[in-house]
């Protein structure tokens, strides 16, 4: 197997296939044989094995290593003569002296090599990179100019001879003029498909080689009968393996000068750029200046479509680039009505991304949004926003629909599966989107889809396929508080009626006598099956284990409260000789009242929790609904009893008693509010409780959705 090595230059975060002195080599990938899968990893064998032979040519290898060190040293030294160089030596990645000198910008060594060893001009390393690639990547425009001048100097016999030797290694080579030969070599692609122009655009040192520098250097040479603008055609037509043209890379890397010079000198015979769209690159970078520069020179490029049939407006809408959307719609309004490969309009992508301002802008060009449906599911923008949990867009559409009647039609509009926006928001468990929809009185909560399911039944059906989550519970809570009810009984009745219609009208003559016992067993099994179905629908907020753990935890808490209350009763504040000396103290009265409430509330909670352990589902939910408020009362009463009892003891020291009373009162309020959070948001359908739960629900929904 061959092992490929990469180096990372200390001044460049990009990884390059190139060997250089003082570089840190490391293994990055193993080039696999055809019979070995790329994903397989090979262990390195380090166990000793038997002797096979003596390494041949060890002395020659030592000499070669010494010469190799000279090659590495040649790049950074500028006081070398040609006699001290070894042009025939290459590094492990087949880099020559010219490659290394080009990387370090050593003009003297490059000039020496061009003069005495021109055959190195046409040598490439194992990544098929010439010295031009290396010089452009390093940002050395002077080296690029020297190399271009040498390549164009076909009058020199040794350079022409070196070129002919190089062409013998090429397949299907057709002899051309000198200028065309230069173009062929300048446009040479490495293993990544990059030409030297690509490497120049990828170079981060824009001051040395960015802008129009490399193009001005190429303009000095005319190719065949064409003008000196051939380099600009390469900038639009030649793409690497990532489908990136030189113009695209210039836009992506923010080289404004390069973009301007390419667009200003573009050849007229190139109608569109190859590869990825530079217009889309400017949009994704949200660079309005480059976007204007490109479209002012080529207005037709606003209609460039890619393999997904998407226009630049699709991408501007998808990332919420409002300035770009305004600019593009100002130049072409018809783009707003163009579908992509999947049938989505730009406004669908804006809704998918949750970009309210872009949706608002694009709605100006949509006479009837209910007609703008995707081709796959026949969904409008409210469907898309609800399904993807973009509650900002959902809220905006619901508010605007009160004054725009066309938007009002989308609220209960169904897709090709009969799902309304409420169904889709419930199905994907987006509590905020469901919350905003259920608070709008125009939303029909009881609409059913093609499966005869309401929104709450959609989430019930999906909950069987996954574990319950906070998002799912909040979504179900929002639906329940809005009065969305399941239609389970009707479904069971419909199934039973359907099964009855499938029974034979008469018993076959050869049938066995009717077995009453067998019928009883079958009816009992069906009854048990229905009970299991009811039980399954009952445990919608969690599994049986979750209920069991909850009951056990609450039992433990109530028992601890009983213990604390009883202990307080045996340690009455101011007690002496079995009598309380503070009977006339007002706070002592408060202590007695609240410690009594705490004790019997916790005792009642413990008894009620015993009901839950009987295994009857109805008793579990009933017990939990009653116990939670009782335990809240017990905890708050115990806190107040502690405050009143301790105040009674320290009341003679006024300042301390007052400070304690203030601090304790604040902390009791904190305890009370913390416990109230367990009850809000509430699934109650009563309007006052829904109003109280409004903001707590949004807060919990925010936490749940951000967590996911």
Q: How much is the pLDDT for 133?
A: 94
In a domain, 80, yes or no: yes
Q: How much is the pLDDT for 88?
A: 74
Helices vs strands, H then E, count in the chain: 34, 5
Task: Give the residue ranges of the chain where pLDDT is below 70.
Answer: 1-43, 55-87, 172-181, 223-228, 463-468, 488-546, 572-582, 615, 680-682, 708
Q: How much is the pLDDT for 62?
A: 62
Q: Which of 155, 170, 188 is the last residue of a domain?
A: 188
Q: How much is the pLDDT for 10?
A: 34
Q: Model confidence over 551-591: pLDDT tens digits?
A: 888 888 888 888 888 887 777 666 655 556 667 788 888 98
Q: How much is the pLDDT for 17?
A: 38
Is the link from the previous residue into 206 a cis peptide, with omega within 30 of 0? Answer: no
Strand partners, 8: 15
Give the start-end residues of each E strand in 413-511.
Answer: none
In a domain, 110, yes or no: yes
Which helix H or strand E contains 528, and what residues bound it? helix 516-538
Gap between the Cα atoms of 463 and 132, Å rounded: 61
Q: How much is the pLDDT for 67?
A: 60
Q: How much is the pLDDT for 75?
A: 57
What Cα–Cα distance (Å) separates residue 396 from each residue in 277, 337, 367, 388? 33, 21, 18, 15
Report the Cα–Cα distance between both ends of the chain, in Å, rounded: 44
Q: How much is the pLDDT for 705?
A: 82
Q: How much is the pLDDT for 9?
A: 39
What Cα–Cα distance (Å) separates residue 673 from each residue in 37, 510, 564, 632, 666? 61, 74, 22, 10, 11
Q: What DSSP state is assigned to residue 59?
A: H
Domain count, the chain: 2
In a domain, 70, yes or no: yes
In a domain, 623, yes or no: yes
Q: Between the CA atoms of 153, 154, 156 and 161, what dihedral angle is there, to the nearest 10 degrees?
A: 130
CB burial string 455-473: b at 16+ within 10 A, e below: bbbbbbeebeeeebebbbb
In a domain, 607, yes or no: yes
The CATH number given to whatever domain includes residue 97 is 1.25.40.20
Q: Would you say 108 and 78 are in contact if contact means Cβ atoms under 8 Å apart?
A: yes
In a domain, 233, yes or no: no
Q: How much is the pLDDT for 185?
A: 81
For residue 96, what are the domain limits?
Answer: 1-36+60-188
Gap between the Cα atoms of 571 and 635, Å rounded: 19
Angle at which helix 322-331 crosses helix 356-363, to 10 degrees, equals: 20
Angle (CA) 101-105-110 rounded to 5° is 50
Q: How much is the pLDDT for 488?
A: 52
Q: Which of 151, 172, 188 is the last residue of a domain?
A: 188
Which helix H or strand E contains 123, and what residues bound it? none
Residue 694 CA to its chain's centroid (Å): 29
Q: How much is the pLDDT for 60?
A: 57
In a domain, 408, yes or no: no
Q: How much is the pLDDT for 38?
A: 46
Q: Model confidence over 583-636: pLDDT tens digits?
A: 778 888 898 899 999 999 999 988 888 887 776 777 787 888 888 888 889 999
Q: How much is the pLDDT for 224?
A: 58
pTM strictly above 0.75: no
In a domain, 81, yes or no: yes
Q: What DSSP state is assigned to residue 239?
A: B
Q: Would you say 382 and 415 are in contact if contact means Cβ atoms under 8 Å apart?
A: no
């Amino acid at each position: 197997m061959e092992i490929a090595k990469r180096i990372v230059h200390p001044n460049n975060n990009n990884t390059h296939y190139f060997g250089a002195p003082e570089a840190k080599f490391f293994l990055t990938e193993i080039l696999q044989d055809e019979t070995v899968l790329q994903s397989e990893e090979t262990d390195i064998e380090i166990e000793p094995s038997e002797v096979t032979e003596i390494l041949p040519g060890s002395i020659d290898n030592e000499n070669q290593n010494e010469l190799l060190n000279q090659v590495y040293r040649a790049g950074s030294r500028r006081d070398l003569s040609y006699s001290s160089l070894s042009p025939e030596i290459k590094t492990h990645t087949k880099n020559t002296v010219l490659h290394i000198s080009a990387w370090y910008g050593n003009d003297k060594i490059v000039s020496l090599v061009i003069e005495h060893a021109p055959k190195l001009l046409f040598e490439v390393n194992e990544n098929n990179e010439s010295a031009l690639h290396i010089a452009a990547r390093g940002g050395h425009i002077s080296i690029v100019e020297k190399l271009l001048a040498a390549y164009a100097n076909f009058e020199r016999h040794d350079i022409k001879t070196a070129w002919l030797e190089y062409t013998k290694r090429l397949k299907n080579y057709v002899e051309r003029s000198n200028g065309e030969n230069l173009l062929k070599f300048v446009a040479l692609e490495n293993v990544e498909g990059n030409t030297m122009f690509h490497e120049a655009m990828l170079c981060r040192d824009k001051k040395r080689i960015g802008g129009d520098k490399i193009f001005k250097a190429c303009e000095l040479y005319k190719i065949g009968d064409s003008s000196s603008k051939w380099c600009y055609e390469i900038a639009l037509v030649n793409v690497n393996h990532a489908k990136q043209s030189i113009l695209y890379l210039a836009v992506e890397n923010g080289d404004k000068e390069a973009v301007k010079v390419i667009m200003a000198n573009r050849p007229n015979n190139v109608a569109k750029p190859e590869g990825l769209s530079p217009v889309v690159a400017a949009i994704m970078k949200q660079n309005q200046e480059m976007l204007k520069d490109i479209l002012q020179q080529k207005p037709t490029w606003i209609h460039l479509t890619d393999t997904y049939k998407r226009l630049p407006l699709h991408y501007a809408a998808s990332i919420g680039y409002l300035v770009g959307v305004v600019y593009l719609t100002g130049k072409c309004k018809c783009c707003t009505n163009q579908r992509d490969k999947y049938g989505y309009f730009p406004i669908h992508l804006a809704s998918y991304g949750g970009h309210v301002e872009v949706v608002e802008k694009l709605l100006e060009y949509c006479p009837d949004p209910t007609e703008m449906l995707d081709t796959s599911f026949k969904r409008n923008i409210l469907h898309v926003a609800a399904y993807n949990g973009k509650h900002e867009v959902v809220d905006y559409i619901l508010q605007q629909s009160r004054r725009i009647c066309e938007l009002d039609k989308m609220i209960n509009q169904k897709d090709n599966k009969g799902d309304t926006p409420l169904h889709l928001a419930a199905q994907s468990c987006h509590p905020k989107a469901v919350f905003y929809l259920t608070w709008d009185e125009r939303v029909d909560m009881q609409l059913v889809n093609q499966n005869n399911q309401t929104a709450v039944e959609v989430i019930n059906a999906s909950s069987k396929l996954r574990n319950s989550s906070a998002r799912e519970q909040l979504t179900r809570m929002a639906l329940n508080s809005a009065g969305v009810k399941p239609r389970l009984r009707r479904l069971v009745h419909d199934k039973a009626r359907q099964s009855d219609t499938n029974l034979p009208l008469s018993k076959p003559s050869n049938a066995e006598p009717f077995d009453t016992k067998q019928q009883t067993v079958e009816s009992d099994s069906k009854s048990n099956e229905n009970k299991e179905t009811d039980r399954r629908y009952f445990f919608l907020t969690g599994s049986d284990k979750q209920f069991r753990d909850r009951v056990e935890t609450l039992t433990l808490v109530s028992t601890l409260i009983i213990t604390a209350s009883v202990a307080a009763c045996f340690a009455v504040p101011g007690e002496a000789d079995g009598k309380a000396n503070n009977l006339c103290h007002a706070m002592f009265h408060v202590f007695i009242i609240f410690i009594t409430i705490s004790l019997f509330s916790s005792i009642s909670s413990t008894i009620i929790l015993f009901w839950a352990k009987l295994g009857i589902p109805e008793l579990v939910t009933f017990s939990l609904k009653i116990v939670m408020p009782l335990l809240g009362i017990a905890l708050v009463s115990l806190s107040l009893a502690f405050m009143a009892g301790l105040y009674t003891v320290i009341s003679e020291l006024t300042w301390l008693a007052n400070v304690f009373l203030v601090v304790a009162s604040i902390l009791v309020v904190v305890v009370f509010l913390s416990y109230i959070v367990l009850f809000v948001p509430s699934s109650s359908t009563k309007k006052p409780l829904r109003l109280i739960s409004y903001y707590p629900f949004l807060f919990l929904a925010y936490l749940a959705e951000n967590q996911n």
